[in-house]
Amino acid sequence: MKSLCLVTVGVLAMTLLIVSISLLVAHVFQTVVDLQVKQGTVLKNGTETFEAWEDPPPPVYMQFYFFNVTNPLEVLQGDTPLVEEIGPYTYREYRPRVHVQFLDNGTKVSALNPKTYVFEPQKSVGDPEVDLIRTVNIPAVTAMEWTRSTPLQFATEVLLLLYQESLFTIHTVHELLWGYKDRLLSTIHLLHPEIDPVFGLFNKMNGTDDGEYVFLSGETNYLNFTRIVEWKGKESLSWWTTESCNMINGTDGTSFHPLISKDENIYIFSSDFCRSFYLVYDSSGTVADIPTYRFVPSPMVFANTTVNPDNAGFCVPPGNCPGTGVLNVSICKQGAPVFLSAPHFYQADQKFVKDIEGMHPKKEYHETFLDINPLTGLVLQAAKRMQINVHVRKLPEFFETGNIRTLIFPVMYINESVLIDEASASKLKHVLLEASVVTGIPFIIMALGIVFGIVFIVLVCRSRGISEESTEDERSPLIRTS
């Protein structure tokens, strides 16, 4: 009976160990979890995934920082500009998806994404309707660039003198953001109705959308979850000079496919940047005690053409490349000489930093990043940081430009951030716990195998000890003499 029990324990221990190792090698339970995640990450009406995509619960905040010019007269004489950062002016951003329609048997979804901004005084440094900022007079600079060396040059100069316009202007934060009626643009509007008489860096961008998107639902391939295939009815852009630069790649940056790996590139299309770009793995961490991978823009994205020849397609006109870290988007901004960069020219050529006194680029404040849970692809924390600059230079045709140096002049930058809310974090932790339990089954089986193995060894040792003791007695004589 003891021998049978011993054999049973030994066989059970060996079986459990073999089964657990086989399950680990075959990734059986990990495959089950991955399959469940893939099947659950599809845009289907009535599911939690769809509801979270349609109206994301985590709060989004948009912070605006302005660069106030403190030495305008000296700048016009050729001195280095001195700017002072003022901000943040914080707005709560609401961005539900509306007019959602399922297309092609549920494989595609179309939607509009209007954004509404509500001022948050407690998170701001002042009142945007009161605080004044001195910055580059973008309407005047744009008009001068439009009309130089054209028959309208003289008329523009007359208007600039009539309205007493200069290279710098003073307006409230609210006016610079959401718009004010500009006298120069109003006059140009009479001749060219397509020119908006109201100027604002975010004019007509509060309560409006940037066009219809068509996304893949992930129904046929989880890797295509929320990938953009059309924007404004087109499958590609037309601003840039090469096919690859005009491609619409990736998602809109708010959602990604599950099972993210450290080796892959995360593609995003941003209408603000007028292009697609990609992010690469930077580090691992946690947000709200949930594991994350941090992805940041690749240095190759805004590298000069000597480092990344593929970026030549973004040089418009061809060959006119501003340098590393700066993108000329005038072609998609009605010809306004607008250049985009990271805040404070972070990771840009040092010449841009040195040209402006007051630039202090720092990774922790000025880098764009995404913290993504690798299993689910959910964004737990993110920050999109973008600086708006204006290209200014001396134009002999217009005395308003004085002797200013050729500069990429910073106007303001944004920090659009999101952090997962407690309710969403709690739900995600529950999902991850269930996944951990399932994937941990082989280890539980292995632990049981080890326990039974230890019991087997103990029983074997005790059995041998008893056997040896009995043998000694058997060898002793039946009658002992003293």
Question: 217 near 105, Cβ under 8 Å?
Answer: no
Closest by Cα among 192, 220, 24 to 105: 220
pLDDT for res 473: 54
Would residue 218 be called left, alpha or beta, if left means φ above 0 and alpha means ψ between -120 and 50 degrees?
Answer: left
**3-state SS of the chain?**
CHHHHHHHHHHHHHHHHHHHHHHHHHCHHHHHHHHHHHHHCCCCCCCHHHHHHHCCCCCEEEEEEEEEECCHHHHHCCCCCEEEEEEEEEEEEECCCEEEEEEHHHCEEEEECCEEEEECHHHCCCCCCCCEEEEECHHHHHHHHHHCCCCCHHHHHHHHHHCCCCCEEEEEHHHHHHCEECHHHHHHHHHCCCCCCEECCCCCCCCECCCCEEEECCCCCHHHCCCEEEECCECECCCCCCCCCCECCCECCCCCCCCCCCCCCEEEEECCCCEEEEEEEEEEEEECCEEEEEEEECCCCCCCCCCCHHHHHHCCCCCCCCCCCEEECHHHCCCCCEEEECHHHCCCCHHHHHHCECCCCCHHHHCCEEEECCCCCCEEEEEEEEEEEEEECCCCCCHHHCCCCCEEEEEEEEEEEEECCHHHHHHHHHHHHHHHHHHCHHHHHHHHHHHHHHHHHHHHHHHHHHHHHHHHHHHCCCCCCC
Which residue type sits at 258? P
From first to last of the 482 residues of the chain, give the pLDDT tens digit: 556 676 665 666 566 556 556 655 555 555 665 667 777 789 999 898 999 999 988 999 999 999 999 999 999 999 999 999 999 999 999 999 999 999 999 999 999 999 999 999 999 999 999 999 999 999 999 999 988 888 888 989 999 999 999 999 999 999 999 999 999 999 988 888 888 999 999 999 999 999 999 999 999 999 999 999 999 999 999 999 999 999 999 999 999 999 999 999 999 999 999 999 999 999 999 999 999 999 999 999 999 888 899 999 999 888 788 889 999 999 988 889 999 999 999 999 999 999 999 999 999 999 999 999 999 999 999 999 999 999 999 999 898 999 999 999 999 999 999 999 999 999 888 877 766 655 655 666 666 666 656 766 676 677 666 655 555 555 555 555 54
CB atoms within 10 A of CB 263: 7
Question: 269 near 248, Cβ under 8 Å?
Answer: yes
Q: 12-61, pLDDT tens digit by residue? A: 656 655 655 665 555 555 566 566 777 778 999 989 899 999 998 899 99
Q: 288-332, pLDDT tens digit by residue? A: 999 999 999 999 999 988 889 999 999 988 878 888 999 999 998
- Strands 168-172 and 132-136 turn out to be antiparallel
Closest by Cα among 293, 439, 441 to 374: 293
Question: 459 near 453, Cβ under 8 Å?
Answer: no
Structure tokens at 17: 């160990």
Q: What's the pTM?
A: 0.87
The residue assigned the tokens 């309710």 is 423
The Cα angle at residue 260 between residues 255 and 265, in degrees rounded to 5: 85
Question: 22 near 197, Cβ under 8 Å?
Answer: no
pLDDT for res 80: 97
pLDDT for res 409: 97
Structure tokens at 481: 């003499």
Question: 411 near 66, Cβ under 8 Å?
Answer: yes
pLDDT for res 316: 85
Which residue type sits at 76? L
**Rounded distance, CA 113 to CA 60, Å?**
14
